[in-house]
Structure 1
Amino acid sequence: MSETPCHILTVDVGNTTTRLGLFALADSADKTPRPLRTCDLTTPPRITADEVRIQLVQARAVLGDAPLAGTILSCVVPALTDTWRRALTDIAPARPLVVGPGLKSGMRLNYDNPSEVGPDRIADAVAARAIWGAPTIIVDLGTTTNVEVIDQTGAFAGGIIAPGIALGARALAEAAARLPQIELRAPRRLIGTSTRSAMQSGVVFGEVARIDGLLDGIVAELGCPAPVILTGGDAARIAPLLRHDATVDTDLTLRGLALLWQRNQRA
């Protein structure tokens, strides 16, 4: 007798990293679901569906190979969306859900063109509202620095998109011949005494100052204070340096995907 599927797989394909999360089906209706395990893969510029299938076999060796009831995909790389969707079709009985137009989010999007809102931003907002309520501000620190704002009514009010911290450091090194690649960490002092420490100060403390300034402006525009949630690969590095109190949740996008999967099941 086959084992009853009791897990769902969430997949967040970013520009640099692809994150997978395994959730217990019994916990997926919870407003605060947490992944049982996660796995990070490098996002290549091109990949075939067969290569994704091989990666899924390897990833499930890390995550656990219990039968899956379903899968859900967020992909910000349009060229890879269908490739991942086809590969995910083979590992669960139900067709993969893909975050985008037609998928119920349960959230009003106050955006000029709602279809332009990235699927990762929707997942972030859904999870943050479910866990911390409204209003809430999310700062997602990845290839880009994305800020998502949930207003007092619980609607997605919009946000901000800026170059990410690693992208800024790479641009410096590539555009200026005498500037080296640097480790992304905060130097001991703001005023750098070497080229590397000066660059680290500019990149890291510059990002901190930008985020703090943006948060000041957002709170003023909202007209009320709001909890700040940091997620993404650089969240733990940046959070202690901010003036604003911030909660770090590196699994926020995956948690949002689990909630979206639950909301799109037939009664």
Structure 2
Amino acid sequence: MLLVIDVGNTNIVFGVYKDQELLYDWRIATDKDRTSDEYGLLFEQIFKYHGLCPKDVENVIISSVVPTLMHTLPAMSIKYFNIDPIVVGPGVKTGMNIKYDNPREVGADRIVNAVAAYEKYGGPLIIVDFGTAITFCAISKEGDYLGGVITPGIKISSEALFLRTAKLPKVEISRPEKVIAKNTINSIQSGLVYGYIGMVDYIIERMIEEMKDNGKVETVIATGGFSSLIASESKYINKIDKMLTLEGLRIIYERNK
């Protein structure tokens, strides 16, 4: 089996593949203070609950946007799975030409998503990842990573509103039936959800316009935790692929094994 691990700022998403089939996937909270032993024991417990044996894992690949865990998770892999993992970064073959001013600045998760999306859907295309930050990535017809956009995620904005105002409450992030709300909670929810839908569609619209010389963009993919919430109202998003990052890790592993 192949263990794939994507370390985000809010959650760690991981899963196990047998050949090209994703057998299980899990999501746990990212804790920068956890030790490699704590993560190892947690992984062992999750494996045991699902009747899996760590010894059945033959390879491990990790992507991370959390620098403090760049040593912790590989150390966990070595100690608890007896495997020196592939860590997505400089020197790892992705098969993608990154046309950023400094390719090292592009987050590993963005590259992993781009690899998977181009492999599955072809190009040109746009990927919107609704994580702690919302990232927009543009991929050319030839499979080049052209660049993108980064904005604060919807949860960050919700928390900032609560922390920086005296009377506004913390609310559940969900879509109210109408934009014009009749109470404070629905008003905040309306501003967050419909506000982000408007922002997302405007950015996508501008990206499509700037990419027109590379061909018509017909595929706009949403992934990440809040993808379903926003994509359901978007004019441009036409695919939701929650497992895009894990699939990208599997593809990159195949290119480096």
- TM surpasses 0.5: yes
TM-score between both structures, scaled by the size of structure 2: 0.95
1:22 to partner: Cα distance: 0.5
Query: Per-residue displacement from partner, 1:229-265 (whole Å, max 9, x unpaired)?
Result: 1100111111111112421111100000010111001
Asked if structure 2 preserves the Cα contact closer than 8 Å seen for 1:139 and 1:146, the reply is yes
The counterpart of 1:262, out of the listed 244, 250, 254, is 254
Equivalent residue number for residue 168 of structure 2: 179
Asked if structure 1 preserves the Cα contact closer than 8 Å seen for 2:171 and 2:185, the reply is yes
Say whether residues 1:74 and 2:63 are aligned partners.
Answer: yes
Equivalent residue number for residue 45 of structure 2: 58
Query: Per-residue displacement from partner, 1:104-135 (whole Å, max 9, x unpaired)?
Result: 10000000111111111111000000000011
Equivalent residue number for residue 109 of structure 1: 98
Task: State how far apart, in whole Å, the 2-side matches of 1:91 and 1:23 are.
Answer: 18
Asked if structure 1 preserves the Cα contact closer than 8 Å seen for 2:124 and 2:142, the reply is yes
Equivalent residue number for residue 211 of structure 1: 200
Query: Per-residue displacement from partner, 1:37-93 (whole Å, max 9, x unpaired)?
Result: 101111013111111111111222245226111000011110111000100113445
Aligned length: 252
Task: State how far apart, in whole Å, the 1-side matches of 2:252 and 2:82 are.
Answer: 18
Equivalent residue number for residue 36 of structure 2: 49
Asked if structure 2 preserves the Cα contact closer than 8 Å seen for 1:39 and 1:62, the reply is no
The counterpart of 2:25, out of the listed 31, 38, 63, is 38
Say whether residues 1:87 and 2:76 are aligned partners.
Answer: yes
Q: Which amino acid aligns with 2:230?
A: I
Stretch deviating more after TM superposition (105-114 or 185-194):
185-194
Task: State how far apart, in whole Å, the 1-side matches of 2:33 and 2:63 are.
Answer: 17
Asked if structure 2 preserves the Cα contact closer than 8 Å seen for 1:18 and 1:41, the reply is yes
Give ranges in structure 2 of 5+ residues lacking alignment: none
The counterpart of 1:191, out of the listed 180, 188, 212, is 180
Runs of 4+ in 1 over 6 A off after TM superposition: none
Say whether residues 1:233 and 2:222 are aligned partners.
Answer: no
Stretch deviating more after TM superposition (60-69 or 71-80):
60-69
1:214 to partner: Cα distance: 0.6
Alignment of 1:116-127 (within 5 A): 116-127=105-116
Stretch deviating more after TM superposition (237-246 or 166-175):
237-246
Q: Which amino acid aligns with 1:61?
A: K
Query: Per-residue displacement from partner, 1:161-200 (whole Å, max 9, x unpaired)?
Result: 1000111111101111110001111111111211111111
Task: State how far apart, in whole Å, the 2-side matches of 1:225 and 1:252 are.
Answer: 19
Query: Per-residue displacement from partner, 1:183-225 (whole Å, max 9, x unpaired)?
Result: 1111111112111111111101011000000110010000022
Task: State how far apart, in whole Å, the 2-side matches of 1:228 and 1:132 are.
Answer: 10
Task: State how far apart, in whole Å, the 1-side matches of 2:222 and 2:57 are.
Answer: 30
Give ranges in structure 1 of 5+ residues lacking alignment: 1-6, 28-33
Task: State how far apart, in whole Å, the 2-side matches of 1:110 and 1:201 are.
Answer: 37
Task: State how far apart, in whole Å, the 2-side matches of 1:208 and 1:62 are.
Answer: 38
Task: State how far apart, in whole Å, the 1-side matches of 2:79 and 2:120 are.
Answer: 32
Same amino acid, percent of matched pairs: 36
Say whether residues 1:15 and 2:28 are aligned partners.
Answer: no
